Amino acid sequence: MTFFRKFTVIHVLIIPCCVVNYVTPEENVDIPSIAKYFNTKGRYEEVNPHLLKDILAVNTSILQPPSAQCQPFHLTAIIRHGTRYPTSKNAKEMQQLYNMVLHNATGEESWLREIQSQWRMWYTEDMDGRLVQKGVKELKHLAIRLSKLFPSLISEEKLRGGYIKFITSSKHRCVNSTLSFKAGLTELWVITDQDFDHAINDSVMRFFDHCTKYVQEVDNNSSALSEINKFRQGPEMRRVTEKMADRLGVQYSLITQDMADAAFYLCAYEFAIKAVNSPWCQLFDEEDAKVIEYASDLREYWKRGYGYDINSKSSCILFHDVFNRLNKAASENKSGQQVTEAVTVQVGHADTLLPLLTLLGFFKDNVSLNSSNYATQTQRSFRTSHMLPYAANLLLVLYDCGAGELRLQALLNEKPVTFPGLSDQQTSMPRYEDVKENYRELLQGCDFETECQLFKGPA
């Protein structure tokens, strides 16, 4: 069952406080040398470094329609929330690490003395994943960039006319990200005489909570993560914790894998939230960061990605929600009607996007990620640092190219990606009918209720 609640926009005063190119740390000493390995804790700018020079920069040439006649008439944007504070669990682990370093570390490095004498633990458990000011700005800026990239769709006229719809997860960081996206548009067009509702729909945006088979067989099943646990206890991760202990000047037994994670998160959060190269980052070199990134990717692979079939099938409800909307827009366009939903903005989580990307076949490697093939997976496609930074987004854009020909373009983080199975196309904008044929089995099946049902064996 789908539940909707309406909210009106809240106006807030903001006080200033898949080939991917990355920022080179040498270009900016304020960027940690390990920043491109922060997985789902990474900045959007590491995926789109040109935004460091101009946060509102867009390059319309990336769209490359096959002819000038092609005009967009519908956009669905599935967006991850912006930068957030640590969860209460993360904050608690970081506090434990900080206490250990204060009382036990004996190293003489200047960065360690800075941690012990100057740095203060300011993360608290009650922050619990709330959107930070950087996250507010990310969604505002994304809204403005998309309005520049698709000006005929994301326009003041379309917004005022009710042709732009907003749907969000109920989590505060997602609701506030939705409000921020809307504020980006209303501030751009100086709209002060009208509010714009959004709908909360957890059955679509937090489908993973409602899929019984997924919850019981994967999410709440510790044995489902056996590959992650084996890697965390293996030689690569052991070397990371031993090097960390050496740098701190403490016994190896004091540094657990959870403490290594906490230190890595401290470096990542300090950079994402405060834009500082924290002394905590000195605990890791690039090889350490690659190992921790792989451990995180293993978790995402087996918990949300290709590890188990139910991971992606749990997103069937979102898959059909998207294609039903695309089909409706295509039908309205074909009949000459006004497309009633020119733009749909859906705000959720990394855990919303990853199962859908997996279901669609993106970033699938020939060999599964496991605990023993770290050394051979250095060139893997499945890399959350590339795919799912804060404010990550999947855009699906329908074009009318004349003579009844419709085309669909997919963009991930504002860059075109090719639909798996359609790689022989000369364009990243294949015919919509070819896309539907490519996903025919999913469109005809992939029933959420059926896929998520737990079947009992014979008595």
pLDDT tens-digit series, residues 317-328:
999 999 999 999
Per-residue pLDDT at 425 = 54
Per-residue pLDDT at 28 = 60
Listing from the earlier edge strand, what are the strands of the sheet with 343-348?
Answer: 6-7, 198-200, 164-168, 343-348, 71-80, 393-400, 406-412, 415-417
Per-residue pLDDT at 454 = 82
How confident is the model over 107-129, as pLDDT tens digits?
Answer: 999 999 999 999 999 999 999 99
How confident is the model over 271-302, as pLDDT tens digits?
Answer: 999 999 999 999 999 999 999 999 999 999 99
pLDDT band of residue 8 (cuts 50, 70, 90) is very low
Cα separation of 34 and 38, whole Å?
Answer: 7
Q: Phi and psi (nearest 5°) for 398?
A: -95, 135
Per-residue pLDDT at 21 = 38
Is the Cβ–Cβ distance between 350 and 388 less than 8 Å?
Answer: yes
How confident is the model over 59-97, as pLDDT tens digits?
Answer: 999 998 888 999 999 999 999 999 999 999 999 999 999
Dig out the tokens for 304 from the structure.
């949300």
Q: Is the pLDDT reported for residue 190 higher than 60?
A: yes
Per-residue pLDDT at 64 = 85
How confident is the model over 46-56, as pLDDT tens digits?
Answer: 999 999 999 99
Per-residue pLDDT at 422 = 86
Write the CA distances from 46 to 15, 149, 214, 424, integer angstroms. Answer: 24, 20, 32, 30
Per-residue pLDDT at 41 = 97
Residues forming the active site: 81
How confident is the model over 215-240, as pLDDT tens digits?
Answer: 999 999 999 999 999 999 999 999 99
Per-residue pLDDT at 147 = 98
Q: Is the pLDDT reported for residue 45 higher than 50?
A: yes
- What is the three-class DSSP state of 80? strand
- What is the three-class DSSP state of 399? strand
- What is the three-class DSSP state of 226? helix
pTM assigned to the model: 0.92
Q: Is the pLDDT reported for residue 459 higher than 50?
A: no
How confident is the model over 331-377, as pLDDT tens digits?
Answer: 999 999 999 999 999 999 999 999 999 999 999 999 999 999 999 99
Q: Is the pLDDT reported for residue 20 higher than 80?
A: no
pLDDT band of residue 18 (cuts 50, 70, 90) is very low
Q: What percent of the chain has pLDDT over 90?
A: 89
Per-residue pLDDT at 161 = 98
Per-residue pLDDT at 424 = 55
Mean of pLDDT over the chain: 92
Question: For 432-459, what is the mean pLDDT?
Answer: 87
| Neighbouring residues of 92: CB distance < 8 A, sequence distance ≥ 6 | 125
pLDDT band of residue 426 (cuts 50, 70, 90) is low
